[in-house]
Amino acid sequence: MSDIIWKGSPNHYVGRNGYGVTHITLHIMVGYLAGTDATFANQSSRASAHYGVGATGEIHQYVSELDGSYSDANYASNNSTISIEHEGGMADGAVCTQECIDASARLCADIARRYGWKKLWHDGLKGNVWLHREIPGTDHLSCPDLAPNGLPYRQIIDQANRILEGGTMSNAGDEVWNWAYKPNGKNATPGGNMYNLLTYELPQRIRDSIMQYSYKGSAPGGNVYNTICFEIPGMLKQLTKTIETQQKQISELSEKISKLEEATK
């Protein structure tokens, strides 16, 4: 993703200590993005995450995905996760905004794509999306969803999955070519389908729709004939009459003006 702002943090492992990336961990800041920037920049906090998403949808990155972060209070998870913090979680202050949720969904979908995960799902520690509170070792028991104004994580997962599903449309040519046109309930061969549809089916449908057009409830087919032969000439006659009347009015007006000009000489 091109709109991620690199912030950096000194708080991370170098590499992943033999672990591979297996999941995303979702967190809530219980505060604002700026405060998280400051905490993660401070070495003595010993805290970090890979990403932080703010209320405007701004995404900050603190740790490279090549390194484990100090996010989950669990050595194995720290080394095998990509952790995402979200602005919000305060009863009277920072809340989760739709912009934050949208940006997080895009980020999660992007991560899933890059690691070859077809979809995201949460199922305790069995899925590829983990909630911080479910990871052994943490005392953040309301992170990310149980805090006041906590993270609606299902919405993020669902939205990310819709983005991932949309990605299967990348080869639209194949979809069109393999589309099953079924004349008389039979499935013609791919490709031939499109040819048949464009060559035979479409012209017939257009012809039918013209012939069946119901002009003032008269007989189909006759409709078109009646429209062209009677309705249109009638409209033209009316239009001609209107123009003739207007021309007459203009002539009368010109005459009046001429007379006025004569009188003032």
Looking at the Cβ atoms of 153 and 223, the one nearer to Zn ion is: 153
Looking at the Cβ atoms of 142 and 227, the one nearer to Zn ion is: 142
Q: Which residue has the tokens 């393999």?
A: 178
Looking at the Cβ atoms of 113 and 140, the one nearer to Zn ion is: 140
94 near 72, Cβ under 8 Å?
A: no
Looking at the Cβ atoms of 7 and 140, the one nearer to Zn ion is: 140
Residue type, 255: E
Residue 6 CB, shortest distance to Zn ion, in Å, is: 21
Q: Which of 33, 109, 143, 164 binds Zn ion (CB under 5 A)?
A: 143
* Token representation of residue 106: 């895009």
Residue 110 CB, shortest distance to Zn ion, in Å, is: 21
In angstroms, the CA 42 to CA 117 distance is: 33
Looking at the Cβ atoms of 87 and 223, the one nearer to Zn ion is: 87
Residue 197 CB, shortest distance to Zn ion, in Å, is: 54
In angstroms, the CA 112 to CA 30 distance is: 26
Nearest to 72 by CA among 9, 24, 14: 24
Residue type, 23: H
* Token representation of residue 202: 């479409």
Q: Which of 74, 140, 146, 163 binds Zn ion (CB under 5 A)?
A: 140
Residue type, 51: Y
Interaction residues for Zn ion, span 20-49 (CB under 5 A): 27
Residue 27 CB, shortest distance to Zn ion, in Å, is: 3
Q: Which residue has the tokens 């194949």?
A: 174
Handedness of CA 98, 63, 154, 2 (dihedral sign): positive
Residue 16 in the binding site for Zn ion (CB under 5 A): no
Looking at the Cβ atoms of 155 and 226, the one nearer to Zn ion is: 155
Looking at the Cβ atoms of 57 and 89, the one nearer to Zn ion is: 89
Question: What number of chain residues touch Zn ion (CB under 5 A)?
Answer: 4
34 near 5, Cβ under 8 Å?
A: no
Q: Which stretch binds Zn ion (CB under 5 A): 55-63, 139-147, 195-203, 206-214?
A: 139-147
**Coil, strand, or helix at residue 6?**
strand
Residue 143 CB, shortest distance to Zn ion, in Å, is: 3
**Residues 190-209: x where in contact with Zn ion by CB under 5 A, - otherwise, as a string:** --------------------
Q: How would you classify the pairing of strands 51-53 and 59-61?
A: antiparallel
Nearest to 156 by CA among 103, 81, 114: 103
Residue 3 CB, shortest distance to Zn ion, in Å, is: 24
Residue 99 CB, shortest distance to Zn ion, in Å, is: 21
67 near 14, Cβ under 8 Å?
A: yes
Q: Which of 128, 132, 150, 161 binds Zn ion (CB under 5 A)?
A: 132
- The contact set with Zn ion (CB under 5 A) reads 27, 132, 140, 143
